């Protein structure tokens, strides 16, 4: 009889330990689930759409444009390439467009478009940097960056073309 009561007492202690460990584990699991759902929500379908939009715009820039010999009054698609080279003249022509027209062609309200040599200095053509932007990048925004290595048509040098966009 004494032996039976000692076994029952140990079982009750085991049950309390087991119950408390299940409760603690459940709390950690619930906390992890809440954190996971909130972090997954940051990169939801809206950001995927914006990423695809940035890809689309960057791919258009890597064409000759429409028409292929466009200027500020005839441009429908602002492609910056001639054949397989980045055309510095087309870039400067694009840079000279009004800001509303640039935003319309890039399908982006906020952007930075620039070409840098591989040593990270700005590409300069006819005394002008191949760089244009709507504003500085704010610190609290999701930013989409697309980059490509290019060869400059007139200079024959390698460079990096980058397009950065974000929401205002």
In this structure, are residues 150 and 161 in contact, taking their beta carbons and an 8 Å threshold?
yes
pLDDT of residue 137: 82
The two three-digit tokens of residue 74, written as one number: 């005839």
Instruction: Judge if 159 and 107 occupy the same domain.
Output: yes
Instruction: Judge if 141 and 87 occupy the same domain.
Output: yes
Instruction: Judge if 32 and 62 occupy the same domain.
Output: no
| Backbone dihedral angles phi then psi of residue 144, each to the nearest 5 degrees | -110, 125
Q: How many domains does the chain have?
A: 2
CA–CA dist 121, 103 (Å, integer): 25
pLDDT of residue 86: 94
Instruction: Judge if 9 and 37 occupy the same domain.
Output: yes
Instruction: Judge if 35 and 11 occupy the same domain.
Output: yes
Instruction: Judge if 52 and 73 occupy the same domain.
Output: yes
Instruction: Judge if 66 and 15 occupy the same domain.
Output: no
Name which of 96, 98, 68, 99 is nearest 82 in CA terms: 68
User: How confident is the prediction along the chain (168 residues), in pLDDT tens digits per residue?
Assistant: 555 555 555 555 667 777 888 888 888 787 777 666 655 545 556 667 777 888 888 888 889 999 999 998 999 999 999 988 999 999 999 999 999 999 999 888 889 999 999 999 999 999 999 999 998 887 877 888 899 999 999 999 999 999 998 887
Instruction: Judge if 153 and 71 occupy the same domain.
Output: yes
Instruction: Judge if 114 and 161 occupy the same domain.
Output: yes
The two three-digit tokens of residue 3, written as one number: 């032996």
Instruction: Judge if 37 and 55 occupy the same domain.
Output: no
Q: Which residues pair with 111 in a beta bridge?
A: 165
CA–CA dist 149, 126 (Å, integer): 21
Instruction: Judge if 90 and 9 occupy the same domain.
Output: no
Instruction: Judge if 79 and 158 occupy the same domain.
Output: yes
Domain housing 110 = 45-166
Full-model pTM: 0.69
Query: How much of the chain is helix, strand and coil, in % rounded to 5?
Result: 45, 25, 30
CA–CA dist 111, 167 (Å, integer): 9
pLDDT of residue 91: 95
pLDDT of residue 156: 93
């Amino acid at each position: 009889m004494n032996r039976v009561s000692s076994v029952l007492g140990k079982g009750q202690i085991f049950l309390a330990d087991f119950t408390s460990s299940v409760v603690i584990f459940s709390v950690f699991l619930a906390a992890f689930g809440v954190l996971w759902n909130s972090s997954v929500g940051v990169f939801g379908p809206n950001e995927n759409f914006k990423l695809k939009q940035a890809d689309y715009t960057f791919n258009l820039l890597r064409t000759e444009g429409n028409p292929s010999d466009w200027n500020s009054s005839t441009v429908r698609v602002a492609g910056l390439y001639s054949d397989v080279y980045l055309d510095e003249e087309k870039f400067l022509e694009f840079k000279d467009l009004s800001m509303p027209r640039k935003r319309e062609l890039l399908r982006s309200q906020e952007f930075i478009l620039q070409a840098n040599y591989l040593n990270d200095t700005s590409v300069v053509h006819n005394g002008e940097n191949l760089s244009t932007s709507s504003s500085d990048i704010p610190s609290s925004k999701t930013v989409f960056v697309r980059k490509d290595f290019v060869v400059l048509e007139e200079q024959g040098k390698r460079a990096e073309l980058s397009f950065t966009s974000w929401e205002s």
